Amino acid sequence: MTVPFRHDDAARATARQAYETLEPLHVLAYFSPHLGELAESAGLDWSALYAGARGGPLGAAAPSVVTACFFNFSPEVVEPAWRRASEHGLEQVMALREQAVDRSLREALGDRVDDPALPGIVSRLRGVAEAQTYAGRPLASAWAAQPWPQQPHLGLWHATAVLREWRGDGHLAVLVQAGFAPTEAVVFHEASHPDPAVRKRGLGRKLAQVTRGWSEEQWLAAAGRLADRGLLRLEDGAETMTDEGAALYDAMEAATDDAAVWAGDEDAAQLLGEVRPFVKAVIDAGILPGTKR
């Protein structure tokens, strides 16, 4: 069954623009240079800090629930990491994440952290987030239920987290409908697209394997299954999408965009334009992978 689009091309393009604009700001929390120091001070490893920082809003959930929400992570990584984070205290782990975001944003934004326009921007983003429907979006709904930070720069990050997880939950529904297992989703996402004009935000195979917890054997087995489906071409240890695979990738991205069209803001493009200088400051700070000061 093919679900028809609800929105037009322009609306989907704006949803894509929102993702591309906000994602660098959101992932700051997980690539902050302060995370290692804070994790060490708390006696936590990176995976426990990540699991508790991102999954913490779910509360005392079973490890399998967190694994399901993270989707493309191995349960062998998520479940013990979640137990360690829970034993330490989820509130404390989330507080460490907020400290890392606070420090990194202050360093990246400089004087812009006190920009008089920032509270208004955050208020509008909060209005967008609160206007959405969260049915069927478990991780996003947990984030949406969290207290809103009082400091504008932290409110800016929190808004991106809610909207990012809201989009992400919709993307997982698309992957499930397309019949992708978690390992296959990672392998497929990291595969090369035959059209060089297509912009893909990936981690690279090595980092994806390490952070998601998939062994070389598991990776190759997933690539083989995707090749059997006619979606990937395997050559010289690399994975490239076939024409059929690329068409499916494009269709899934379009479906994700269609499920991520904003409601509650009359001019999303203008709002994103106002957010963009803050995001650029984070990119220019050289904190994120692939960027430099």
Per-residue pLDDT of the chain (293 residues; tens, 9 = 90+): 466 899 999 999 999 999 999 999 999 999 999 988 999 999 999 999 999 999 999 999 999 999 999 999 999 999 999 999 999 999 999 999 999 999 999 999 999 999 999 999 999 999 999 999 999 999 999 999 999 999 999 999 999 999 999 999 999 999 999 999 999 999 999 999 999 888 888 888 888 898 899 999 999 999 999 999 999 999 887 899 999 999 999 999 999 999 999 977 778 999 999 999 999 999 999 988 778 77
Question: Is 4 a member of any domain?
Answer: no
Residues in the chain: 293
pLDDT in the model for residue 2: 65
Question: Is 246 a member of any domain?
Answer: yes
Question: Taking the model in full, what pTM does it have?
Answer: 0.94
Angle between helical axes of 9-31 and 90-109 (0-180°, round to 10): 100
pLDDT in the model for residue 146: 97
Question: Is 23 a member of any domain?
Answer: yes
Torsional class of 230: left (φ above 0), alpha (ψ -120 to 50), beta (otherwise): left
Which tens digit of pLDDT belongs to each residue from 10-25? 999 999 999 999 999 9
Question: Is 292 a member of any domain?
Answer: no
Rounded Cα distance between 85 and 56, Å, is 9
Question: Is 5 a member of any domain?
Answer: no
End-to-end CA distance of the chain: 47
Question: Is 61 a member of any domain?
Answer: yes
Question: Is 260 a member of any domain?
Answer: yes
Question: Is 155 a member of any domain?
Answer: yes
Which tens digit of pLDDT belongs to each residue from 107-160? 999 999 999 999 999 999 999 999 999 999 999 999 999 999 999 999 999 999
Domain of residue 195 covers 13-284
For the chain, count helices (H), then strands (E): 14, 2
Rounded Cα distance between 267 and 35, Å, is 35
Count: domains in the chain: 1
Token pair belonging to 88: 């330490």
